[in-house]
């Protein structure tokens, strides 16, 4: 059902500084950038082979990432798994007792379709399901 760890999301206070650090220290390249106003976040996807690190800066304090940083400090925010059929995967995990944040899949970054699962029923782990963009990989 799950094909791969698609990416790990990391909450950072300053996106440009974080991108520069991941480039210089870890030799990762930023392969996509996007600001999602509806989610209150600006992101950069850093390539690590077929996986990615998603660096995330809040667009304001009263946003999910803004509140995360205020409460816990910067750090690992979520883990995302790649699935081939997100509607089916979401139904499966809900039927297995996982509480969904997104009851139906919604558009994510870079043309993907995503659904977040609530950490309350997953041992404190904010978990995302990601289906690739049509024609993507």
Q: How many CB atoms lie within 10 A of CB 94?
A: 15
- Interaction between residue 49 and a second copy (CB under 8 A): yes
Among 16, 62, 72, 85, the residue binding a second copy under the rule CB under 8 A is: 72
Dihedral angle computed from the Cα positions of residues 49, 90, 132 and 17, in that order, rounded to the nearest 10 degrees: -60
Q: 43: burial class by Cβ within 10 Å (0-12, 13-18, 19+)?
A: buried
Among 36, 48, 132, 133, the residue binding a second copy under the rule CB under 8 A is: 48
Q: What is the Rg, in whole angstroms, of the alpha carbon atoms belonging to the chain?
A: 15
- Interaction between residue 59 and a second copy (CB under 8 A): no
Instruction: Catalog residues that contact a second copy under the rule CB under 8 A.
Output: 1-5, 7-8, 10, 12-13, 18, 21, 24-28, 48-53, 72-76, 78-79, 81-82, 92-93, 96-98, 119, 123-125
């Amino acid at each position: 059902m799950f094909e791969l760890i698609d990416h790990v999301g990391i909450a950072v206070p300053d996106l440009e500084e974080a991108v520069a650090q991941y480039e210089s220290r870890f030799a990762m390249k930023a392969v996509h950038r996007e600001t999602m106003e509806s989610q209150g976040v600006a992101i950069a996807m850093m390539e690590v082979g077929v996986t990615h690190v998603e660096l995330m800066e809040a667009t304001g304090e009263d946003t999910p990432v803004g509140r995360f940083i205020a409460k816990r400090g910067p750090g690992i925010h979520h883990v995302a798994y790649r699935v081939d059929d997100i509607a089916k995967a979401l139904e499966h995990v809900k039927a297995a007792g996982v509480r969904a944040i997104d009851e139906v899949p919604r558009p994510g970054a870079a043309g993907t379709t995503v659904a977040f699962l609530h950490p309350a029923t997953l041992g404190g782990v904010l978990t995302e399901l990601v289906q690739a963009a049509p024609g993507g990989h």
